[in-house]
A = this chain, B = another copy of it.
Amino acid sequence: MEIVQNIKVAVDAIVFGYSHNQLHILLIKQKFGELKNQWALVGGFVKDSETLQDAVNRELQEETGIEVSYLEQLYTFGDNIHRDPRFRVITVAYFALVNSTTLTPTPNTDAEEAQWFSIKNLPPLAFDHKEIIDVAYKRLQNKLTYQPIGFDLLPQEFLFSDLENLYCTILEKEIDRRNFRKKILSFGVIEETEIFSSKKSGRPAKLFKFNYQKYKDLIKEGFLFEIKFA
């Protein structure tokens, strides 16, 4: 059986980061070639003998050197036949999160430049990458309410106020501070540490951390993480 088909398969990663109370996205700029001077998502063509996942990880490594803390397939964009004007390309988009500590992208080749952009202030983007980001952002907003992925955007030890702020910022809503804390703590997957942070002003605050093991155990017993208000 001979199949004649001329469709290329790419992967793209929408990498979210969070710092200074702002949600960021990682973009790269090719210095040469077709995409010269256009900002685009991290990504590229899949090799014949690598998995899709491997392709994303390879591109992330090559183009930014960043290690993500969460990665999942988002959606496959292939309904706009001319999304790449050169030839037919479908792209399998991946949704990724990094904790803000890992924040400095360093591309492996000097043909590229990698940089964080606030989601509120994105540059013009190549292809349909803006649409892809929109889909990813919605996924992030949704997921935040039913999976503890906020912690993948924070350092391992974080302030409760940072967590709260992250929810406010990403969901674009006000949250009652007391109810939020009560709810989150009631899950029993967040632990106090002995460490206090000394911010510039105000009362020092305890640092908390997410107990991933505990979460996995609870899940097995049918536990549901869910943040409804906000």
Contact = CB atoms under 8 A, between A and B. Distances in A.
A47 B9 CA distance: 14
Taking residues whose C-beta sits less than 8 angstroms from the other chain, chain A's interface range is: 20 to 34
Contacts of A47: 5
Given A7-B9, A9-B7, A78-B92, A1 B34 contact: yes
Contacts of A7: 8-9, 46, 48
A33 interface: yes
Interface in A43-78: 45-53, 73, 75-76, 78
A81 interface: yes
Contacts of A52: 76, 78-79, 90
A88 interface: yes
6 contacts: A3-B45, A5-B9, A51-B79, A51-B81, A53-B79, A73-B75
